[in-house]
Amino acid sequence: MSLRSPFIIFVVMKNERLIFVTNDDGYSSKGFQAAIEVARRFGNVVAVAPERAQSGMSQAITIYNPLYVNTIRAEEGLEIYSLSGTPVDCVKMAFDYMLRDRKVDLVISGINHGSNSAVNVLYSGTMGAAIEGSFYDCPSVGLSLTSHDADADFTAAVYYGTQVVESVLAADMPLPLCLNVNVPVGTVDEIKGVRVCRQTRGCWREEFYCRRDPHNRDYFWLTGDFHNSEPDAEDTDEWALNHGYVSVVPVQVDLTDYAQMERLKKLM
């Protein structure tokens, strides 16, 4: 395959897997390097991440501005690029341009700084990218650590992320497949294991703090708290994380409320 500058694509050895990595915290984040560490254990890696943090971008794409790609690192078996767009832009750029003539065996998005459990899956740029990867009939895994610390210890996230990826690659799961994997803070020995869960029902209740700038204009900072609607349910991702387990939630894109459909048929 030939690609125009600035891309550098090395020859992939026959039968070698190709793993694509992205995230929403930017190419320089510690979590992104940890995700690449996981990916390199399973094959050659092409990684494209936003040039700056893009948390909360969900499925956003860039329409009205050009996209710019820069080569960060290029060597045999590993290529890292930054993109002036969103996490989903990174996936689209990879699958529809950079790697359009190559088979990608797995998408890893992360490792995110902060949990993407419960309703956070809808806001998350990390999970937006993982979901986008599944649109290309490629198994996709979103990895997150429940710490927002920029210098967090990702040892346990790498350990359990490796376990999950190994299981996905070995199992030949039906497609589309997208997993939302969250790892609690703690050492490998402190974490109790892995639980397959469902998404917790709940929502965020936002607060806006108003301040005034030097030009006498009001500006606002967004903050808030997550309200768990079912704190005692033991089959949810929030329960698993709060009790020291890694949560694994299979994610689907169909948002149809089938129960309401039947009620609406009677009304309409």
Over residues 32-36, the mean pLDDT reads 98
Question: Looking at residue 224, what is its pLDDT?
Answer: 84
Distance set, CA 37 to CA 114, 143, 186, 202 (Å): 19, 13, 19, 33
Least confident of 80-94, 211-225, 232-246: 211-225
Question: Looking at residue 15, what is its pLDDT?
Answer: 54
- E-assigned strand segments in the chain: 18-22, 44-50, 69-75, 78-83, 106-113, 140-145, 178-183, 193-196, 202-212, 218-228, 245-250
Question: Looking at residue 135, what is its pLDDT?
Answer: 97
For residue 123, give the DSSP letter: H
240's enclosing H/E stretch is helix 237-242
Query: Is the confidence at residue 160, as pLDDT, over 90?
Result: yes
Query: Is the confidence at residue 167, as pLDDT, over 50?
Result: yes
169 compared with 9, residue with greater pLDDT: 169
Query: Is the confidence at residue 203, as pLDDT, over 60?
Result: yes
Question: Looking at residue 1, what is its pLDDT?
Answer: 37
Report the C-alpha gap between 177 and 156 in whole angstroms. Answer: 23
Residues β-bridged to residue 182: 144, 247
Instruction: Report the chain's mean pLDDT, rounded to a whole number.
Output: 93
Over residues 179-195, the mean pLDDT reads 98
Query: Is the confidence at residue 151, as pLDDT, over 90?
Result: yes
115 compared with 172, residue with greater pLDDT: 115
Query: Is the confidence at residue 73, as pLDDT, over 50?
Result: yes
Question: Looking at residue 206, what is its pLDDT?
Answer: 78
Question: Looking at residue 172, what is its pLDDT?
Answer: 85
Angle of the 155-171 helix axis to the 30-40 helix axis, nearest 10: 40
Over residues 178-193, the mean pLDDT reads 98
pTM: 0.91
Question: Looking at residue 188, what is its pLDDT?
Answer: 97
Question: Looking at residue 222, what is its pLDDT?
Answer: 86
Could you tell me whether strands 106-113 and 140-145 are parallel, antiparallel, or unpaired per DSSP bridges? Answer: parallel
Query: Is the confidence at residue 8, as pLDDT, over 70?
Result: no
Q: Are 109 and 143 in contact (CB under 8 A)?
A: yes
How many Å from the N-terminal Cα to the C-terminal Cα in the chain?
A: 54
AA letter at 263: R
Report the C-alpha gap between 237 and 253 in whole angstroms. Answer: 18
Question: Looking at residue 204, what is its pLDDT?
Answer: 82
Residue 207's pLDDT band (cuts 50, 70, 90):
confident
Q: Are 36 and 21 in contact (CB under 8 A)?
A: yes
Question: Looking at residue 225, what is its pLDDT?
Answer: 86
Q: Are 155 and 188 in contact (CB under 8 A)?
A: yes
Establish how many alpha carbons lie within 13 A of residue 90's alpha carbon, considering only the half-sphere containing its beta carbon.
Answer: 38
Question: Looking at residue 12, what is its pLDDT?
Answer: 46
Over residues 87-98, the mean pLDDT reads 98
Single out the residue of 120, 157, 109 nearest to residue 236, CA to CA.
120
Residue 7's pLDDT band (cuts 50, 70, 90):
low
Which residue matches tokens 């290529």? 79
Q: Are 176 and 214 in contact (CB under 8 A)?
A: no
Report the C-alpha gap between 27 and 184 in whole angstroms. Answer: 23
